[in-house]
Amino acid sequence: MQLKDYFDSKPHGSKVEFARSLGITKTWLSLIMSGRKVPSAFLCTEIERLTKKKVKRKDLRPDLFSGV
């Protein structure tokens, strides 16, 4: 699942809370979601954890986690 698809069924304001949980801004999260910025290995792991593995780190960064 893509990160943007994860938020399709979430209530308004959930992106802000998610970004806070990651320690980043909503703007940075939006840039990651649009593919304009690449998340760090740490952020990929945290996104996977916070989404309860619905969004996989290997989908976010196949260059780092393709063998995982």
CA angle (8, 25, 19) in 5-degree steps: 45
Which of 1, 65, 64, 2 minimizes the C-alpha distance to 33?
2
Q: Using a cut of 0.85, tell me whether the model's pTM lies above it.
A: yes
The reported pLDDT for the residue numbered 58 is: 96
Range 45-59 average pLDDT: 97
- Looking at the predicted structure, is the pLDDT value of residue 68 above 80? no
**pLDDT over 90, % of the chain:** 93
Which residue ranges form the domains of the chain, and what is each CATH number? 3-62 (1.10.260)
Range 48-59 average pLDDT: 97
